[in-house]
Amino acid sequence: MRAVHRTVPAPGVLGVELARVPAGEPLELDLRLESVVEGVLVSGTVTAPVAGECARCLGPVVDRAVVDVQELFAYEVSATEETTEEDEVGRLVGDLVDLEPVVRDAVVLALPLAPLCRDDCRGLCPDCGGVLDELPAEHSHAPPVDPRWAALAERAGPIRTVSTESQE
């Protein structure tokens, strides 16, 4: 068994629509390499910085993803190597394992589809698009209603549209 701690740059942008690990950002790998009968079992965690946009207010989201990974890499000459496809079980090439696809898949799957800047982010005002958390609490677009008109409107019921086209 061997413990490996390594920091590697992200291989390109890893991401989904609203959240991503920018290319070149450091991915921290904390892994254990275990020799098993058929090959090498790699397990541990990947920690990656996540940048994104809040799904409600589109403000910046800065987060960190910690992802568990586990993958068996089979020896080049082994029963596992003979009985599985390469995309099911990884292969050792000489004494190297290619962790990139494993790390890439694990990180992308762990990214939030709808990241939030804060759990209680109130999002945008549906009328003006302003950020509600930055607007005064009483922010509203409803015109101030004169109480006398309000009473009248209630009695009159919904206003009917009247055609203004001339009918000759």
Which residues are near Zn ion by CB under 5 A? 54, 56-57, 59, 117, 121, 125, 127-128, 130
Determine the Cα–Cα distance for residues 2 and 40; give it in Å rounded to an integer.
10
The CB-of-64 to Zn ion minimum distance in angstroms stands at 18
For Zn ion, the closer CB: 56 or 91 = 56
Pair type for strands 39-53 and 14-15: unpaired
Q: How many CB atoms lie within 10 A of CB 103?
A: 23
- Written as one string, the DSSP assignment of 55-95 is TTT--EEEEEEEEEEEEEEE-SSSHHHHHS-TTTSEE-BTT
Smaller CB separation from Zn ion, 51 or 121: 121
Q: How far is the CB of 116 from Zn ion (least distance, A)?
A: 6
By beta-carbon proximity to Zn ion, the closer residue of 128 and 162 is 128
Q: How far is the CB of 158 from Zn ion (least distance, A)?
A: 25
